[in-house]
Amino acid sequence: MISFHVRGSAAWSPGLETAEQWAKWAHEPRALEREGRPELLFVPPLMRRRCDQLSRMMLWAAHACCPAELLPEVNAVFASRHGAFGTMVGMLEELAGQRTLSPAAFSHSVHNTQAGLFSIWARNPRVSSSVAAGAATFGHGLLEALGILHAEPDRPVLYVCGDEAIPEPVRGICDHDQGAFALALLLTTHGEGAPLDFALDTSSDARPLAYPDALEFLRWLRLDGEELRLGPPRAGFRFRRAPTPSPSAGTPDSC
């Protein structure tokens, strides 16, 4: 079992941005929208114009979650099940039509695009990692982030997980289509924030969830449940609320 603190959180989905909107969604969840992207006014125009939906959502969540003074100093993990799915499908359509690929689109289609954009925008030279692990991406990305936190316990880790909606040409062959979202968590070993315990879950119970694991975690963080289990049976993850060490510690109110 691994113990950690969530010092801050922020999330973005079309129509869901503020802490109040996410609080309402946590109590009365609804299906996520597919279309929409944040403006990213804090990113230089040249970089902003090249960002697709996933990059915009992830950078927005990172900016909203992490204090400005920490942005150049945190280690970072970016996790996505599909990465820039819309960009990739667009390039496949270009190839099928025997048209020339856009170099800019190609450079933003790799799975570590968001980590690279973050390092440039935040001027952050620290450790970064990009994770994809199918339906269990959120849990494996968090495990990666906690491993980095364990190796350097005095440096916070910014963990960002997100995905676009499934693009139209492949929607019929995917077993899921949960809309567009990004969630950022600022993780520490101690101090302010919600203290949690995290462990692998080898039980065989099925636990179908209506929303992406990252947002089920956000709902649980905001509500009063004692335990949350995510991921597939026998290979999932379990979260529990640890005893609060002081009256000042509690659930972060970013979103």
- Classify residue 161: in a domain, yes or no: yes
- Classify residue 125: in a domain, yes or no: yes
- Classify residue 255: in a domain, yes or no: no
CATH of the domain at 203: 3.40.47.10
- Classify residue 254: in a domain, yes or no: no
The range of the structural domain enclosing residue 12 comes to 2-241
- Could you give the C-alpha distances from 48 to 11, 14, 21, 39, in angstroms and in order? 19, 18, 25, 8
- Classify residue 114: in a domain, yes or no: yes
Q: What is the pLDDT along the chain (255 residues), one digit of tens a residue?
A: 889 999 999 999 999 999 999 999 999 999 899 889 999 999 999 899 888 999 999 999 999 999 999 999 999 999 999 888 777 777 777 788 888 877 777 677 787 899 999 999 999 999 999 999 988 899 999 999 999 999 999 999 999 999 998 777 766 666 667 789 999 999 999 888 879 999 988 887 766 677 899 999 999 999 978 899 998 777 889 999 987 655 544 445 556
d(CA 57, CA 182) in angstroms, rounded, equals: 6
Q: Which two tokens stand for residue 197?
A: 């315990």
- Classify residue 73: in a domain, yes or no: yes
d(CA 203, CA 159) in angstroms, rounded, equals: 26
Q: Count the domains in the chain.
A: 1
- Could you give the C-alpha distances from 86 to 53, 91, 93, 130, in angstroms and in order? 8, 9, 11, 18
- Classify residue 22: in a domain, yes or no: yes
Residue with tokens 């494996």: 140
Compute the Cα dihedral for 53, 56, 59, 63 and give only its sign: negative
d(CA 205, CA 229) in angstroms, rounded, equals: 10
- Classify residue 106: in a domain, yes or no: yes
